[in-house]
Chain A
Amino acid sequence: MMRWLERHVPKLVLAPSFIAVLIFVYGFIAWTAWVSLTRSRLLPRYEIEGLIQYERLFDSPRWDTAITNLYIFGALFILVSMAIGLLLAILLDQHIRAEGVLRTIYLYPMALSFIVTGTAWKWVLNPGLGIEAVMRSWGFETFEFDWLVDPDLAIYTVVIAGVWQSSGFVMALFLAGLRSVDTEIIRAAQVDGIPTPRIYTAIIIPSMAPIFLSAFIVLSHLAIKSFDLVIALTGGGPGYATDLPATYMYAMAFSRGDIGQAASSAMIMMSVVFAIVVPYLYSELRGKHD
């Protein structure tokens, strides 16, 4: 008995976590998937009715807005964060004396919660008192910047705040990537007289492909989950103009009492995340199998 116990201690130690993950991750996903196939409203019901919730979802103009917003927000958020992150990383890579200070400044938003970020930008973007008012007081009387309250443009303010929060992180990733490129190759290129911009575009950046991929994965994952930022910045409004799937799900689950809709929208979110993350993780984990 003791021998048996001793031999299996590692497994026994790991077991509680494994069981917890099985139940609270995979079991819960199964529960949500199940409920998404029922007519659950305020309380869950367990008679499977087929895909009615998904049909309702795709018929809903609010969900339509949420998905369109996710496209706009996701695409811009990822592209702009990556572009700024790469630019900053390259600029910082030029042997800057104040590099440490600048890096600290670029990255600190990452330490803040999205609620704080949203609160700060809500204030800065406030048409009556924020940037618009500042520009007008500087003499640009007709300057207009009221995206925050414009249903067509409000989603772009979410992009602004999101990029502000996350681009420093991308910079940190890229900077680490730039610095890990083999210096021998770079020196050889310099000896050959290849100009610095070409060294970047032809040698350094292509060798960073894996880092681009992980930055993309992280950012897209962030974009799909984005909930707090929207809540704090626009509250999903004006109307539901800045709804994202995450805020749609929350509204259905906790204020509209429509559990079926909440479950089906959560399942769609999860499918999107998994479509992006699973192949990536699979290749990562397989590569590391030793």
Chain B
Amino acid sequence: MTDIAAPTPAAAAPRTRHRRPRFGRIALRWLLFAALGLFALYYLMPLFVMVTTSLKSLDEIRGGSLVALPQEVTFDAWRTAWASACTGISCEGLRPYFWNSVAMVIPAVGISLIIGAINGYVIAQWRFRGAHLIFSLMLFGCFIPFQVVLLPMARTLGILNLAGSIEGLVFVHVIYGIGFTTLFFRNYYVTIPQELVKAAKVDGAGFFRIFWSIFLPLSLPTVVVTVIWQFTQIWNDFLFGVSFSQAGTQPITVALNNIVNSTTGVKEYNVDMAAAIIAALPTLLVYVVAGKYFIRGLTAGSVKG
């Protein structure tokens, strides 16, 4: 499945271009840039509108235009969104839910990383009869629409006494992350020659020793991709969050939806927009800081939606 994770664009050799008459070439070039620029505007427009709206006062929003820059920049909406916006009945802003998401995402990513690494190591390097079938079953599991496990999972969480808790959400994310984290590590570890393991075995190293001192030190690139992938998936999850949490343990996506769709009181669009940006900041930050790995994760995991 690695071939979907095609080589990075930068690795491609330059392609010599077809020669055209000078004028036509310049005109085409302009056309090309105009098209690319228009698309850039299309992709940036919602972000621009979100940011500018979040910095306007409500009066300015009602009186002014969507695409106008704020005349008077105010961070009131940001303060409200963070600390006092109402999600249904409670009015504590996004702050507690932001920390809920943090408390959920850190253990969930950590645990699924460890599971993926060790599973990938076994499947790639310690092949045994049935290992391929096990791997296939795990992979197929990534593709189920989660609706099909929602009901039994809700009951199971109840039985395990994890219903409505952040631990419960961590559990769910770890379980349904197994397939993908295993895939990432497996695809990486198959590229490491098996002779290495054989040599280490001759030297008397055992299963864990080989993993610990040979494979783990080599794993940094995959660890980064897996962390980014799992972090983005779990931070952005809504379905599990809305199904398995209760007031007080909701992750930020659920709280954002509640703020935006709460029907009581005056609709504060600037607060909605500030809240949306706050909810998006962590993953956007990851994307900007580690974009290369983000894209690699996307394309490598392109078998996941």
Contacts and interface: CB of A to CB of B under 8 A. Distances in A.
Interface of A: 6, 9-11, 13-14, 17-18, 20-22, 24-29, 31-32, 35, 44, 84, 88, 91-96, 98-99, 102-117, 119-124, 129-131, 133-134, 137, 164, 168-169, 172-173, 175-177, 179-180, 183, 186-187, 190, 195-196, 199, 210-211, 214-215, 217-218, 221-222, 224-225, 227-228, 231-232, 235, 245-246, 249-250, 253-254, 259, 262-263, 265-267, 269-270, 273-274, 277-278, 281, 284-285, 288-289
Contacts of B257: 115, 119, 231-232
Contact of A133 (B35, B66, B146): B66
A228 B153 CA distance: 19
Contact of A246 (B53, B65, B147, B275): B147
Contact of B175 (A14, A20, A96, A119): A20
B195 to A, nearest CB: 16
A114 B208 CA distance: 40
Given A94-B32, A112-B236, 4 more contacts: A11-B122, A124-B49, A173-B4, A225-B147
B134 A14 contact: yes
Nearest to A227: B239
Interface residues on B, range: 35 or more
B61 interface: yes
Contacts of A285: 1, 132, 135-136, 139
Nearest to B3: A210
Contacts of B62: 129
Contacts of A225: 145-147, 305
Nearest to A229: B238
Contacts of A281: 136, 139-140, 143, 303
Contacts of A249: 147, 150
B35 A111 contact: no
A102 B32 CA distance: 13
A99 to B, nearest CB: 8
Given A179-B9, A217-B303, A225-B145, A113 B238 contact: yes
Contacts of B46: 109, 117, 120-121, 124, 164
Interface of B: 1, 3-4, 6-9, 11-18, 32-33, 35-36, 39-40, 42-47, 49-50, 53, 61-62, 65-67, 115, 118-119, 122-123, 126, 128, 131-132, 134-141, 143-153, 155-156, 175-176, 178-179, 182, 206-208, 232, 235-239, 242-243, 253, 256-257, 260-261, 269, 272-273, 275-276, 279-280, 283-284, 286-288, 291, 294-295, 298-299, 302-305
Contacts of B150: 249-250, 253, 262, 266
A253 B151 contact: yes
B140 A180 contact: no
Contacts of B284: 108, 111-112
A11 B1 CA distance: 23
A142 to B, nearest CB: 18
Contacts of A28: 148-149, 152-153
Given A111-B284, A111-B286, A18 B138 contact: yes
Contacts, number: 309
B294 to A, nearest CB: 7
- Tell me if A's interface is mostly helix, strand, loop or mixed: helix
Contacts of A106: 39-40, 43
Nearest to B236: A113
- Tell me if B's interface is mostly helix, strand, loop or mixed: helix
A96 to B, nearest CB: 7
Contacts of A274: 143
18 contacts: A6-B206, A10-B122, A17-B138, A18-B137, A28-B149, A31-B152, A44-B155, A91-B35, A95-B14, A113-B283, A116-B276, A164-B46, A172-B298, A176-B6, A228-B239, A231-B242, A253-B151, A285-B135
Contacts of A266: 145, 147-148, 150-151
A121 to B, nearest CB: 6
A57 to B, nearest CB: 13
B296 to A, nearest CB: 10
Contacts of B53: 123
Nearest to B286: A111
Nearest to B255: A115
Contact of A102 (B36, B182, B272): B36
